[in-house]
Amino acid sequence: MENDGIDINAYEKRRMDWHERKWRLAAEKTMGFIFCPIRKCRRDLGCSGPMVPSERQRRAVEAQKAVGLSGKAVACLPLCVANADDDTHQRCQQVLEAIARALEARPQPRLPRYDRRNRGRAWG
């Protein structure tokens, strides 16, 4: 199968960035950084915890692999969502759907970037 000159690595990198922004926004809207179980996020006033591989993303990874991609772009979730109970994860899914509807209504989608604000504090 030809890739028609498409740079797959660049595409997956952009897709990974979009996926991370979308899930971090959903986590912040669902749990809020004040109630987030990750202390680092509360200190940073936003979702800035690590993105970790999650079994909950298995179907999304399989879908990416079915179209010839590696699946790494959608394999991770924020730590708080990956460790959340099923009810909280379901609420995050509902927020993701609301975000998708809002982005469809707006021609120039722009999601906030949740970079680590206090870079001097490491996770390890």
Residues in CB range of 19: below 8 A, 6 or more apart: 73, 74, 76
The pTM (predicted TM-score) of the whole model is 0.80
As a dihedral over the C-alpha atoms of residue 16, residue 26, residue 57, residue 81, rounded to 10 degrees, the angle is 120
Q: Mind listing the pLDDT tens digit of every residue in the chain (124 residues)?
A: 455 666 788 889 998 988 999 999 899 888 877 778 888 888 888 888 889 999 999 999 999 999 888 989 999 999 989 998 999 999 999 999 998 898 888 767 677 776 655 555 555 5
**For residue 38, which of 116, 103, 104, 102 has the smallest C-alpha distance?**
116
